[in-house]
Structure 1
């Protein structure tokens, strides 16, 4: 099969990007001819561009225009389609760089949209209000009232109108979790399948040693809940004085979080690792007793959870979004209410005071990750979907599954 993957970025710098690159490799390993189309944007300085076809992209003010109507993406994709002639097109993120302008080109080829965020129903892609509460509004004027400035609202509404006009290019939408599927279907997006992200296989970590170590990896932004983790860790450390916390990531809240750590008097046992390449991060987290995912918003998935489980690390996660589909509460870790310092503290203490339980949950998590979240399982599922679309999609029957959607 000839498969063309489309994604806003062609670098190994984020979870969605790593998923597309590993999917490309997995499909190639199965004998398929697979190529990746992306913008030329480099999100992290020094990261190589790994896509096979490229177009203009921008992280400057020009992005306001290019994410709405990227003429370079249209022209370069048209050339790629004409020269490569794919049997299937698999789109992931496209509304930050490539723009909906590419969609009319996809109407003549079997195509799916694997949405990694909520861009299909939310201009910001989060479905979260500025106060951190879930957004229950339909995108439109409410976005101007609650989330967007007039200057941002106008181009993003134009982008949305183009998406709604041309969304019939897709035979199928793929969500990362059943929780995400429910949100999409509640706003009229159908048909939707679920394919969880895959995690690469790796050796089991060594047996745990002291001191008890808590780790976090992710963007340092309000919705990730790192402030809740710091407060809970400070409480847990009163009973486990030698505990330590490693925080990997960067973001707009970095300085505020470091100030909070000082106010909580835990700055001496918190290590700020900054952004680390994936391989270096995994090596750094070898001795983690528990990885915490304290998200406040309903994330579509949670790669850090499955990566921790594959490593053999117990996970404590907020019971929101996809985390209840990933973490088996009481078996591979614990699920706690979001923004609940007391509950997170209690879960931390159960593991930091009981290394045998941390070992047991880590080993159970590793088995669960191999069974349910491996890259091979994900790749095989997509091959099945590609074949299904070719056999039953609108391009083979002259039908359009989106026509009934307003």
Structure 2
């Protein structure tokens, strides 16, 4: 056993992260884990687990999964992907280990027949929004995602930080996440090609993984950028370390979330917590997170004209963007602190297990 590894026999819940490529779901798991672990004996298993995340190994799952938990008869296996749910069902029904399976659903679509079959055979379902819940055919509890308002927070002097970063122009527009059509990157580029010539102080920063299947898509975008002579002001920064993302969210003055579709979509909330104004499409949970006209603007997905029209007032009036960012920070603090989400998840665990997790 590694020195910082938890002992499964002392745990009442395990969250697997079985996706070997870092993703938005991974980010959610890692953000929640420390907060949930403060409320009960809980750990994670899988990939991309930083040292501060309570964790165990698969060796323990397969060697100690039959052991009695510290209270009650079962532990929680909290899956967020189909493959994790499959593993949980195998552990419970094939190996006969002591698990109750919980699944978090964030999608805005009808599940596959296989997913629906699995959902009927587990012990509890969490939906991240009312919209996601409407696609479920099984009972669920709605627990909205939150944001770590201590990790994501405004910079003391954004303009000075921008200057120190050595980036072109005087302020930034950001869009962070996978670079692909589903995320609306092409819509944002089209809007930026129209706006940046009129606002020479603005620079667009894009971070995120470009998978091999999206290289042609990105090459086409870069050709358009080069043809417009804007290579120095539309920057693809690549996949950034998780620990540096709060800096990028706080550094830009405007965050754009141009997704064509989304299950939940946490980045607008991370931008709000960072004191950054937001323009987002009405997909996922954005309409509940972004107060239209107060913390940013909401637009239809896939609409270049609407996106450019929403971005332009905030590029033309930095003071308005700053005020919207401050309002977003206040809303994140008042309504979307991740500590609330963690407490509701633990309460649901206790309901499913029929025991209290505190004091173990």
TM-score by length of 2: 0.79
Q: How many residues align?
A: 323
Q: Distance in 2 between matches of 1:78 and 1:119?
A: 34
Aligned residue number for residue 149 of structure 2? 201
Aligned residue number for residue 335 of structure 1? 298
Aligned residue number for residue 245 of structure 2? 281
Q: Larger deviation: 82-91 or 323-332?
A: 82-91
**Matched residue SS, 1:83:** coil
Say whether residues 1:259 and 2:223 are aligned partners: yes
1:54 Cα offset (Å): 2.3
1:250 Cα offset (Å): 2.1
**Matched residue SS, 1:238:** helix
> Does the CA contact (< 8 Å) of 1:92 and 1:116 recur in 2?
no
1:330 Cα offset (Å): 0.7
1:313 Cα offset (Å): 0.3
> Does the CA contact (< 8 Å) of 2:177 and 2:207 recur in 1?
yes
Q: After superposition, what is the alpha-carbon deviation per residue over 1:227-281, rounded to whole angstroms, capped at 9, x for unaligned? A: 1001111111232122110111122233232223223432221111101112223
Q: Which of the pair has the greater relative contact order for Cα pairs under 8 Å at 6+ separation? A: 2
Question: Structure 1: which 5+ runs fail to align?
Answer: 56-75, 123-138, 140-159, 393-406
Aligned residue number for residue 21 of structure 1? 30
Among candidates 49, 56, 75, match of residue 52 of structure 1: 56
Among candidates 344, 349, 356, match of residue 386 of structure 1: 349
Q: Distance in 1 between matches of 2:171 and 2:117?
A: 54
1:176-325 paired onto structure 2 within 5 Å: 176-184=128-136, 188=137, 190-202=138-150, 203-209=153-159, 211-251=170-210, 252=214, 253-297=217-261, 299-325=262-288
Among candidates 56, 60, 78, match of residue 91 of structure 1: 78
Q: Distance in 1 between matches of 2:204 and 2:45?
A: 39
Q: Distance in 2 between matches of 1:286 and 1:42?
A: 24
> Does the CA contact (< 8 Å) of 1:8 and 1:95 recur in 2?
no
TM-score by length of 1: 0.71
Say whether residues 1:37 and 2:27 are aligned partners: no
Q: Please report the RMSD computed on the Cα atoms of aligned residues, expressed in angstroms.
A: 3.1
Aligned residue number for residue 70 of structure 1? none
Aligned residue number for residue 12 of structure 2? 3
> Does the CA contact (< 8 Å) of 1:208 and 1:355 recur in 2?
no
Q: After superposition, what is the alpha-carbon deviation per residue over 1:51-104, rounded to whole angstroms, capped at 9, x for unaligned? A: 41227xxxxxxxxxxxxxxxxxxxx745442136374414223424x4625315
